[in-house]
Amino acid sequence: MPEQTVHLPLLPMRGMVVFPAMMVNLDVGRERSVAALEQAMLADRKILLVAQRDDEKEEIGQEDLYEVGTVAEVRRSMKMPDGSVRILVEGLSRATITECHSLEKYAEAIAFEHVDDPAEDKESLELDALVRSVVDAFEKWVKLSGKIPEEALVSIAILDSAGKMADLIASHLSLKLQVRQQLLACIDVRERLDLVYRVLAHELEVLELEKKIETEVRQQMNKVQKDFYLREKIKAIRKELGEKDRKAEEVEAYRKRLEEQQFPDVVRKKLTEEIDRLDALSTLSPETSVVRGYIDWIFALPWSKETEDTVEISQAQAVLERDHYGLKEVKERILDYLAVHQLAEAKTAPILCLVGPPGVGKTSLASSVARALGRRFVHVSLGGVRDEAEIRGHRRTYVGALPGRILEGIRTAGTKNPVFLLDEIDKMAQEYSGDPAAAMLEVLDPEQNKAFVDHYLDVPFDLSEVLWIVTANNLGNIPRPLRDRMEIITLSSYTEFEKLAIAKKYLVARARQANGLKAKDIRFGSGVLREIITAYTRESGVRELLRQIERICRKAARQIVEGAEAPIRVTKKNLVTFLDKPKFLSTKAEKQPQVGVVTGMAWTEVGGDILPTEVSVLKGKGKLILTGQLGDVMQESAQAGLSYIRSRTQELGLADDFYETVDIHIHLPEGAIPKDGPSAGITMATAMISALTQRKVRSDVAMTGEITLRGNVLPIGGLKEKVLAAYREGIRTILLPKENQRDIEDIPEEIRGKLQFVPVAHMDEVLKTALMPREEGKEDNHA
């Protein structure tokens, strides 16, 4: 095979191989490639086409190209609007690159050009046989694939060159770049023909497998259609014979239940439509299960089933007293509502909202009401609900759609008039997917819930006979329109005496039972439960107290299992072995009077707490510094207190310009906890006056009240929880707004008798009680 050395412009190609005798259109866009093309047009229109090894690479060196390319002649070129050039090239011969030079504008290659020798086509009968085998295989490929017209076989048959025939066949096949390059690299004609034949044989195997798969799929489809036809035919035959298929029996059962059960007219109409739709659907249709699920849901709801109330006030009172200790006012209000419900002709029930800190018995009270009425009890927690669809349900257009929690609870109860507890309604959140609190308006509004429509069922359900009980920790987190539909009943924190009674009456027995112990297995000594309450728990409710008692029971159970003799005795001396060291050894209240330190009182969602307030007076330019994560309202209370002090400089013995020479820093410890509200107004004012006048504040006094610019003390809320917290911390004198004097009666008598209450209407009265006389010889630094 003759070879000659050529110097040609180099055109790298991405993902493409051009064979000799092949004509193809190419788009040339890279700057150096366009320059190489222009050079070829200036010379003899010849250019070397070589495939890149990596299509993504822009800067091309000799190592980035395959060794064998194609010498081609540019037949036609045309400039495109985007700056690229479209060319028509004809492959002439193979060429092996020996050197590659990167010139200024383009790359030039030095290569050996290989031209097929026509004499080789006549060398042997073996080559003739190989040619015929290749042509036969190609003919089969054309007929099986249908990708090129059969007329192309004529152009192959008339070729007198075996090498050209191999190249032309290779150009028609859809091959990977590596295989095409491998064919191009075959300089020897016999070797080239042999590789083309093997490639054709592989392609024929793939095509035959594709045909086989296609035939099987078609047969399967025909089988499905045939099965459908046969099933319909069987259905017709069974109908003629008086027999029924399974779906027909199911539909008939639905129709029978529809006749036997009572439904509202609109529901009966909807059910009839859905049963007819199920009857018309094919058993193979995916809609069948959706329609069946919908029908089952409607049948499962208690459209007319309800329980008859067995309420008697004496019986209800006995149930409430048996289940809960204390809570006298709460029980009285519940009994009032039950009495009204018993007398009222209308069946519309009240909506009770139990508000209080965790662990005070809100959920168990709702359960007791259900037992007192003889109704079913449903408990649904709304904490963390963010999607309106969890209340109203999802529409049936969604995959896996179901009704919302309301109708799911009604179905669970099995009656249309259960006691339905909506727990933690203040923990619902609003998101992009809808406002669940807004959906609750329809549920809890007696004027609307007579025809509550769940998105899934899309028919009205009467919720007006449900006794709704709602619980919350913080009333302020409930939207006002929702709050207006409810009767608020407030549950306050338990006192130490109430906790002790609850522990003796309920918690010890419950803890024993939960841990497999009997009454004879464990004994609690005198004062042990009180010690647990004071030294190991500080909470509004009794949940932590129950956990500590259960912890003791678990320790006792282990000792019994390990061979200890029952009963296990728990005393104040060995309590540490059961519960480790006490958590609360001291109170947060100050033990000694100090300057600028006042004990305030605060209300939180989990009960009351005391709020130590510190003030320091520093040399400065009149800044008021507030720290401890104080909210806007509390910051404004501090400003109001300072303004009051400035208006009373002479009475307090302060210099008229004291606020221009000092900075006042107010700090409320436990800075990680946000604090807000106006009730710390007199506390911060008293602390500032103490720091400015250097008069100590009594350590056994706690106070609460809002302050005005004139020094008046305004009423506050949550007095009971605040007083209980102060008592728990060892405080025995309480300063409170005069208008809150009537709230003292709400405080349990056993606590009230041990405290001194000082109602105040003005800051002068606060200072008179809270500040100690100035020590002799100690003058005010700011006078």
3-state SS, residue 757: strand
Contacts made by residues 244-252, CB under 8 angstroms, sequence distance 24+: 247/278, 247/279, 247/283, 247/288, 248/279, 250/278, 250/292, 251/275, 251/278, 251/279
What backbone torsions phi and psi does residue 441 show, to the nearest 5 degrees? -60, -45
Residues annotated as part of the active site: 679, 722
Residue 737 marked as a ligand binder: no
Check: CB of residue 68 under 8 Å from CB of residue 96: yes
User: DSSP string of 625-656?
Assistant: EEESSB-HHHHHHHHHHHHHHHHTHHHHT--T
- Token pair 């400015």 is found at 692
Give a three-class secondary structure readout of 681-744: HHHHHHHHHHHHHCCEECCCEEECCEECCCCEEECCCCHHHHHHHHHHCCCCEEEEEHHHHHHH
Question: Does 358 appear as a known binding residue?
Answer: yes
Indicate the burial class of 224 (C-beta count within 10 angstroms; 0-12, 13-18, 19 or more).
exposed
Listed in sequence order, the DSSP H helices in 312-354 are 313-323, 328-343
What is the three-class DSSP state of 613? strand
Contacts of 361 (CB under 8 A, 6+ apart): 324, 327, 491, 541
Closest CA to 368 of 338, 343, 345: 338
Is the separation of the CB atoms in 362 and 471 below 8 Å?
yes
- Tokens standing for residue 307: 């329980």
C-alpha span between 7 and 47 (Å, rounded): 9
Are 545 and 503 in contact by the 8 Å Cβ rule? The answer is yes
Q: Residue 356 annotated as binding?
A: yes
Q: Which helix (H) or strand (E) holds 195?
A: helix 189-241
Q: Which long-range contacts (CB under 8 A, 24 or more apart) does 176-181 make?
A: 177/15, 177/16, 177/17, 177/51, 180/17, 180/19, 181/17, 181/51, 181/66, 181/68
363 annotated as ligand-binding:
yes
What is the rounded CA–CA span in Å between residue 297 and residue 211?
A: 48
Torsion, CA 709, CA 712, CA 716, CA 721, rounded to 10: 110
Q: Strands 3-13 and 46-51, how do they pair?
A: parallel
Tally of CA atoms within 13 A in the half-sphere of 128 that contains its CB: 4
- The Cα–Cα gap between 294 and 297 comes to 5
**Selection from 87, 49, 204, 84 nearest residue 138 by Cα:** 204
For the record, the structure tokens of 468 come out as 């709704």
Point out the annotated binding site for ATP. 356-363
